Each structure stands twice: as C-alpha cells, then as structure tokens.
C-alpha cells in the first residue's frame, strides 16, 4: 500500500473522499467507447440476421456470390482478405524491423528524427491517396518490372503465373507500404525498451553489432515485434479503399497471386449502395460482421502481446 | 583472426543492408508526394478548381477541364469534419481525463483496451454500423450521419492522446490544487487540462487529419453529391470520395480532377500533421524548462 501511495498520491486522496461526482461523469463518458464497440457488433449482427438464418455456416465456405439468384458465399472474399494481408506482412516485416532497429540505435538523433517523422507521415497519408497512386503509378510499374519478369522466370510455380495490372499482389504491395508505420513505430518502442545492460553485456563479451542485434536485442523484443506484426495484420485485414482500387474486384479464388481477387471490405465498398432486397444487403453486412469479428480478435491478441512486453520491459529495466 | 574478420564483415554488411532497407522504406513517401504533386498541380492551379462544383463526364467534347472543380467537396469535408469534431473532441477529452486521472481502476483498463481496439476497427464496418443506426431509421443518406461515423473514428484517437498528455502533468500541480481545497473537477478541468492543452490539441488535430482523409465510412452515410450542399441533413460530397469515385472513371478530365483533389487532401492532412508535431515539440521544450 505504501508503494502504491507513493506512485499515485492522487488515488489516495480520491479514495478518502466519500463521493466523487466528477469521477462518475468522466467514467460514464469514457465508458461510451466500450459501449460503442458492443453496439457496433450487435447492430451488425442484427442487420445480418436474415443472411445468417438463410445460409448458416455454409456462408463461410460457399464460393458463389450471385445477387440475381440470391446465393451468397463469402469464401473468395475471405481468401482474398487473408491472402493480401499475409502477403503484405511478408513484404513489410523485414523492412519494418530493419527500420525499427536503425531508429532505435543511439546517436545521430537529428537524422533518425527525420527518418522517424518520414515513416510516421507514411501513416498520415489518406488511404484513398495511396489508392489513386497505386492505381496509376505502382500497379503499372509492378506489372512491368515485377509481375511479368517473375512469371516469365519462375514458370514452374503455378501461383506466380498470368500477370495482370490489377491483382492480389499489387494490392498486397500497397498494403505493405500502408502497414509499415504501424510495424515500425511499435517495434522501435519495444526494441528501445530492451534494457541497456543486456546490450552492454553482449558488447563487453566481444559480440559485434550484428551479433548483439540478432542474438540479444531481437530475441528479447520478439514478443513485442510479434504483437506489432499482428496489429499490422489487423490494419491490413480491414483496409478498404486502396485495396478496392487495385485488387481488380473479381469474386473468385484466383489461381495466381498476379490475378485479380476481392476482399471482404472491397465487396462491401463496391456493392453496398446498390444492394436491394433483404438478403443481398444482409449478406454484405454479414461480410462486415466476419471482418469486424476477425479484426477484433486479432487486435485484442496483438494489444495484449504488446502491453505484456512493455510491462515486462518496465519491470526488468 | 580470420574468423574475427568474417564476423566484423558480417556485422558491417548487415548494418548496411538495414540502412538500405530504411532508405527503401522512405521511397514510397517520396513517390506518393511527387506523383500527387506532379499530376495534381495542373488541376489545382486553376482558381475555379476550388470554387466550382463537379462537371458531369463530358468527353470527348468537354467545354474546358478548368471549369470543373471540387469546391463542393471541400465545403462538404469541412462541414462533416467540423460536426464530427464537435461531437468527438469534447467526449474524447473527458474520456482521456478519466483514463489519465482514474486510470488505475480496473474498468479504466477495459476502456483503454476498447479505445485501442476501436482505433483498429475497419472504418468500412463503422460505415455499415452508422448506416444501420442513422440512415435506415431516417430513410435517407445525410452529411450528419457521415459526421457521426467520422466522430466514432476520431473518439478513441482523441481519448488516448488526451490521456497521454494529461498523465504527463506532474502530480505536484494536482496536489497543490487539491491542497487549496479545489474540487476534483476544477483541478482536472481548470488546472490540469490547460497545462496539458498542447498535447490535447495535438491529438485532436491528428484525429481531424485522420477523419478528413477517410472515405470508407462516408460511402453509405454521406453518400456524395455532384453539387454544393450546405444542409447537413442531405447527402454531401467529401474530398476523399471525389478521389475514389473520379479516379476509377474512364474520363481523363475526371481523373485529373481526382489527382487535384488528392493533392488538396494530402496538403491538408500532412499540413495538420506537421503543425501538430510542432506544437508538441514546443510543449516538450516548455516542460523541459519547468
């Protein structure tokens, strides 16, 4: 108790007061946020009810999406969402961790500050600007300089064939740029939180910079970097506009990553305003429900991981 | 000795690779800025671009590209982000004060987690939610519902940054206020909040920048319009929607307009970001003097 009083004297004062009306007011206002989250999920659940009743669990494994015959299956959209997200992380992770390691190094504060600001500005650019850039600049470039050469040289792998300008791969490419700041910012903080003593011990034992980084710093920051990766995964899963503009919007499970595909969020963005009847909009909202539940779970796991490592670091520091 | 040389070589190489990857990471920022400026500037240099509203697609015989504009979208973005700020910033600040001042409570850690989860919630899902919640019952799309959707996005950002700013204020200030017999609400609102103002304003500005750039939550709420609309109870256009819809159309004039709108958007958003960074740096410098 004595320790706690020292850390937070205000708490003790507050606790000794019989009633704190202000606390109730701000508490209720703060509670709006969790209430909103619950309300969002419940509202989507209620709106999706007709589709859930009609299709049941088959909705998740059916591949057909036909508003004319009112048959709806989510599998191609789920596949596209998961594939773009994982592919983008595979592209962004090495770069993100490298930038985090460089930014967490001591010295050259000014240059590191500028680089850090640059990466953070990457997060500030609106998704739709990435979209128009990807559509007119990145995708045509990637088609000529990445997709075509790769598919020509690696003919024996089927899922690297048949390049197209608007493709799952190009969507993943722009997503990789978009999730990079999330990855870098959190990884840098986690790497910085590694106790200095550990690094100094390694250096004192004669380890080189790379040996220190690879065998001491990265292993002790591992859980936090993993958390950052999952957080970035959540962002990549939910990203809508930029992906919609370059993925090609084909409701199929593509046989190659260089072919057009579709994601949960893009289907909703493209079709929702035109959806008529009861089942069609309900099916689209059910896609939204699937998306929000998946990102919710992914985010909670990631946040718990990141928080537990930063707490650990604080305890050991 | 040979082995040590190899180790040193490996270390230098990997450091070099990491520096190269860092440069690689910054290239997209440069490219996005460069292309948006290069392709957007020809539209933006005409003053009509800021005052006129959208022209319908008219190729091949357009009167003149320079007659088209995104004035209606700029006004729409300003109105919707303004209303969203009026909703989200006060609520967010109070929520942030709760998290900072009573953050030790068990419930507060749930609120904090909910904020972080809400920040990561796909904005398109928030659009669907507001559609079901505000558009369906009133039977029409409206700027107001778009503003509420943006407010939902802004709320957790404002709350978390306000929390960060308020918890940086030294306990001495709280204690001196309480020692003078001030009630908690006056200590929080009249002592702590003004002291934390730069940080709180930074967070609010960042949330405004985020909301101004969002497209997905507006698609089924504000819906969009081709003319200037001032009534918040009717459908309204926003800059990101102009970029999204015009960029995908096959008309060169509209594509040029989309690039112009993207340029306006990026200047606005990056401008807000740099200004808020500057405010924050001054706050840190001031705190250093205390």
Q: Over 80: is that where the pLDDT of B143 sits?
A: yes
Q: What is residue B217's predicted lDDT score, i.e. its pLDDT?
A: 95
Assign A5 a pLDDT band (cuts: 50, 70, 90): very low
Nearest to B121 by CA among B203, B224, B210, B28: B210
CB contact under 8 A, B35 and A117: no
Distance separating alpha carbons of residues A157 and A146, to the nearest angstrom: 15
Distance separating alpha carbons of residues B134 and B152, to the nearest angstrom: 13
Assign A83 a pLDDT band (cuts: 50, 70, 90): very high
Chain B residue with minimum CA distance to A281: B128
Does the CB of B81 have a partner CB in chain A at under 8 Å? no
Q: Over 90: is that where the pLDDT of B280 sits?
A: no
Q: Does A26 fall in a domain?
A: no
Over residues B168-196, the mean pLDDT reads: 92
Question: What CATH code is carried by the domain that includes residue A67?
Answer: 1.10.3720.10
CB contact under 8 A, B273 and A211: no
Q: Does A178 fall in a domain?
A: yes
Q: Does A18 fall in a domain?
A: no
Distance separating alpha carbons of residues B290 and A222, to the nearest angstrom: 37
Does the CB of B124 have a partner CB in chain A at under 8 Å? yes
Sign of CA dihedral B210, B215, B219, B222: positive
Over residues B14-20, the mean pLDDT reads: 94
Structural domain harbouring A91: 37-316
Taking CB atoms and an 8 Å cut-off, how many pairs form between chains A and B? 269
Q: What is residue A6's predicted lDDT score, i.e. its pLDDT?
A: 47
Over residues B70-97, the mean pLDDT reads: 96
Give pLDDT tens digits for A32-48. Answer: 999 999 999 999 999 99
Give the mutation candidate from A97, A133, A265 for the B interface (greatest B CB count, under 10 A).
A133
Q: Does A127 fall in a domain?
A: yes
Q: What is residue B142's predicted lDDT score, i.e. its pLDDT?
A: 95
pTM: 0.92
Q: Over 50: is that where the pLDDT of B250 sits?
A: yes
Q: How many domains does chain A have?
A: 1
Q: Where are the beta strands (DSSP E) in chain A?
A: 65-66, 71-72
Q: What is the mean pLDDT of chain A?
A: 90
Sign of CA dihedral A203, A206, A210, A213: negative
CB-nearest partner of A137 from B35, B171, B214: B35
Q: Over 80: is that where the pLDDT of B290 sits?
A: no
Assign B64 a pLDDT band (cuts: 50, 70, 90): low
Over residues B99-118, the mean pLDDT reads: 92
Assign A310 a pLDDT band (cuts: 50, 70, 90): low
Q: Does A23 fall in a domain?
A: no
Q: Over 90: is that where the pLDDT of A313 sits?
A: no
Its ipTM equals 0.93
B chain contacts of residue A47, beta-carbon cutoff 8 Å: 128, 132
Give pLDDT tens digits for A133-182. Answer: 999 999 999 999 999 999 999 888 878 888 999 999 999 999 999 999 99
Tokens at residue B233, please?
């109870």
Q: What is residue A270's predicted lDDT score, i.e. its pLDDT?
A: 95
Give pLDDT tens digits for B210-233. Answer: 999 999 999 999 999 988 899 999
Residue B140 has, within 13 A of its CA and on its CB side, a CA count of: 8
Q: Over 50: is that where the pLDDT of A217 sits?
A: yes
Over residues A218-224, the mean pLDDT reads: 90
A chain contacts of residue B216, beta-carbon cutoff 8 Å: 127, 240-241, 265, 269
Q: Does A21 fall in a domain?
A: no
Chain B residue with minimum CA distance to A43: B129
B11's CB contacts (< 8 A; 6+ apart) are A208, A209, A210, A211
Assign B8 a pLDDT band (cuts: 50, 70, 90): very high
Q: Does A4 fall in a domain?
A: no
Chain A residue with minimum CA distance to B11: A210
Give the mutation candidate from B1, B107, B121 for the A interface (greatest A CB count, under 10 A).
B121
Q: What is residue A4's predicted lDDT score, i.e. its pLDDT?
A: 45
Q: Does A56 fall in a domain?
A: yes
Q: Over 90: is that where the pLDDT of B75 sits?
A: yes
Does the CB of A268 have a partner CB in chain B at under 8 Å? yes
């Amino acid at each position: 108790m004595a320790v706690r009083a020292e850390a937070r004297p205000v708490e003790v004062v507050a606790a000794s007061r019989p009633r704190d009306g202000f606390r109730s007011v701000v508490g209720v206002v703060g509670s709006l946020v969790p209430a909103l989250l619950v309300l969002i999920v419940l509202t989507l659940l209620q709106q999706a009810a007709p589709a859930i009743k009609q299709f049941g669990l088959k909705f998740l494994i059916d591949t057909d999406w036909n508003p004319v015959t009112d048959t709806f299956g989510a599998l191609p959209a789920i596949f596209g969402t998961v594939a773009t997200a994982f592919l983008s992380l595979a592209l962004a992770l090495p770069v993100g961790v490298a930038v985090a390691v460089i930014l967490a190094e001591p010295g050259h504060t000014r240059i590191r500050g500028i680089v850090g600001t640059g990466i953070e500005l990457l997060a500030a650019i609106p998704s739709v600007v990435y979209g128009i850039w990807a559509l007119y600049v990145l995708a045509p470039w990637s088609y000529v300089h990445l997709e075509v050469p790769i598919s020509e040289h690696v003919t024996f792998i089927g899922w690297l064939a048949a390049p197209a300008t608007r493709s799952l791969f190009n969507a993943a490419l722009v997503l990789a740029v978009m999730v990079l700041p999330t990855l870098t910012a959190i990884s840098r903080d986690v790497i910085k939180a590694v106790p200095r003593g550990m690094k100094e011990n390694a250096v004192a034992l004669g380890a080189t910079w790379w040996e220190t980084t690879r065998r001491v710093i990265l292993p002790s920051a591992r859980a936090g970097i993993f958390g950052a990766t999952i957080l970035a995964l959540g962002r990549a899963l939910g990203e809508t506009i930029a992906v919609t503009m370059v993925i090609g919007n084909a409701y199929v499970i593509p046989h190659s990553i260089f072919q057009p595909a579709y994601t949960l969020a893009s289907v909703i963005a493209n079709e929702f305003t035109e959806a008529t009847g009861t089942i069609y909009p309900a099916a689209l909202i059910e896609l939204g429900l699937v998306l929000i539940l998946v990102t919710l779970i992914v985010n909670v796991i990631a946040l718990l991981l990141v928080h537990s490592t930063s707490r650990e670091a604080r305890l050991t520091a | 000795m040979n082995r040590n040389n190899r180790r040193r070589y490996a270390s230098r190489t990997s450091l070099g690779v990491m520096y190269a990857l860092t440069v690689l990471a910054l290239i997209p920022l440069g490219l996005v800025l460069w292309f948006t400026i290069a392709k957007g500037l020809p539209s933006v240099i005409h003053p009509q671009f800021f005052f006129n509203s959208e022209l319908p697609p008219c190729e091949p015989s357009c009167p003149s590209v320079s007659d088209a504009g995104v004035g209606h979208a700029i006004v729409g973005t300003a109105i919707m982000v303004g209303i969203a700020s009026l909703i989200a910033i006060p609520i967010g600040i109070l929520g942030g004060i709760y998290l900072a001042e009573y953050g030790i409570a068990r419930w507060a850690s749930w609120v904090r987690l909910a904020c972080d989860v809400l920040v990561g919630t796909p904005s398109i899902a928030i659009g669907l939610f507001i559609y079901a919640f505000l558009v369906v019952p009133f039977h029409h799309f409206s700027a107001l519902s778009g503003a509420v959707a943006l407010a939902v996005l802004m709320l957790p950002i404002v709350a978390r940054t306000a929390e960060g700013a308020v918890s940086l204020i030294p306990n001495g200030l709280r204690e001196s206020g309480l020692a003078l017999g001030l009630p908690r609400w006056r200590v929080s609102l009249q002592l702590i909040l003004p002291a934390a103002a730069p940080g709180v304003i930074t967070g609010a500005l960042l949330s405004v920048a985020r909301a101004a750039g969002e497209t997905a939550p507006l698609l089924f709420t504000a819906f969009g319009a081709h003319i200037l609309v001032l009534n918040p109870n009717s459908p309204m256009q926003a800059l990101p929607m102009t970029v999204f819809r015009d960029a995908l159309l096959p008309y060169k004039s509209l594509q040029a307009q989309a690039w112009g709108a993207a340029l306006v958007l990026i200047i606005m958003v990056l401008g807000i970001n740099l200004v808020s960074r500057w405010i924050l740096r001054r706050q840190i410098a001031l705190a250093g003097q205390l």
